[in-house]
Amino acid sequence: MSSAHGIDRRAALGVLGAAGVVAMSATAFARQAAAAVPAPGNAPADARPGWDEATGQYVLPALPYAPEALEPHIDAETMRLHHGKHHQAYVNGLNKAVGELRKIAETGDAALVKHWSRELAFHGGGHVNHTIFWAVMAPPDKGGGGAPQPGTELAAQIDRDFGSFSRFSALFQASAVAVEASGWAWLVWDHVSRRLMVQQMERQQDLLMTYASPIMGADVWEHAYYLRYQNRRADYVKAFMNVINWPVVDRIFATVRGAR
Ligand code: MN3
Q: Tens digit of pLDDT for each residue in 157-208? A: 999 999 999 999 999 999 999 999 999 999 999 999 999 999 999 999 999 8
What is the whole-number distance in angstroms between the Cα of residue 86 and the centre of ligand 1? 6
How buried is 96 (Cβ within 10 angstroms: 0-12 exposed, 13-18 middle, 19+ buried)? middle
What is the whole-number distance in angstroms between the Cα of residue 77 and the centre of ligand 1? 13
Task: Judge whether 219 and 123 are in contact, CB under 8 Å.
Answer: no
What is the whole-number distance in angstroms between the Cα of residue 153 and the centre of ligand 1? 29
What is the whole-number distance in angstroms between the Cα of residue 59 and the centre of ligand 1? 16
User: pTM of the full predicted structure?
Assistant: 0.83
What is the whole-number distance in angstroms between the Cα of residue 118 and the centre of ligand 1? 18
What is the whole-number distance in angstroms between the Cα of residue 203 and the centre of ligand 1? 9
Q: How far is residue 103 from each of residues 96, 99, 121, 130, measured CA to CA in Å?
A: 11, 6, 17, 27
Q: How many CB atoms lie within 10 A of CB 107?
A: 9
What is the whole-number distance in angstroms between the Cα of residue 84 and the centre of ligand 1? 11
Mean pLDDT lowest for which of 38-47, 136-145, 171-180? 38-47
What is the whole-number distance in angstroms between the Cα of residue 87 and the centre of ligand 1? 7
Please name the amino acid found at residue 205. Q
